[in-house]
C-alpha cells in the first residue's frame, strides 16, 4: 500500500517521545489520576490498603514526572515556607 512499517514505527516513537518531553505540563493530572486509579483498584481490599497504595502510587508517579532531584528538594522547600511563615 505504499506505507513502510519502519515509517509508522518511527512516527509513533517520535510522538511518544514528544508526549514524554511534555509530561511536566500535565504533572498534577498524571499524579492525581494514577493515585486515584491505584487507590480505586485496592478499594476492594479495604480503605487502609487503598489509601496506602494510592499514596505510594502518587509518590512513584511524582518521582517519574518531576525526577528524583526535585523530590529531594521538597523538605528544603517546605522548611523555607515554614521559616517564612513563623519568623514574621
Q: What is the pLDDT of residue 24?
A: 75
pLDDT tens track of the chain, all 88 residues? 555 656 777 888 888 888 777 777 878 888 899 999 999 999 999 999 999 999 999 999 988 888 877 767 776 766 676 676 666 5
Residue 80 buriedness (CB in 10 A; 0-12 / 13-18 / 19+): exposed
The model's pTM: 0.59
Concatenating the DSSP letter of every residue in 35-53 gives: HHHHHHHHGGG-HHHHHHH
Amino acid at each position: 500500500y505504499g506505507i513502510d512499517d519502519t515509517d509508522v514505527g518511527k512516527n509513533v516513537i517520535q510522538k511518544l517521545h514528544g508526549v514524554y518531553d511534555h509530561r511536566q505540563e500535565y504533572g498534577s493530572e498524571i499524579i492525581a489520576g494514577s493515585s486515584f486509579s491505584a487507590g480505586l483498584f485496592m478499594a476492594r481490599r479495604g480503605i487502609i490498603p487503598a489509601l496506602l497504595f494510592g499514596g505510594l502510587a502518587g509518590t512513584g508517579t511524582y518521582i517519574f514526572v518531576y525526577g528524583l532531584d526535585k523530590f529531594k528538594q521538597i523538605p528544603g522547600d517546605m522548611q523555607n515556607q515554614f521559616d517564612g511563615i513563623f519568623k514574621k
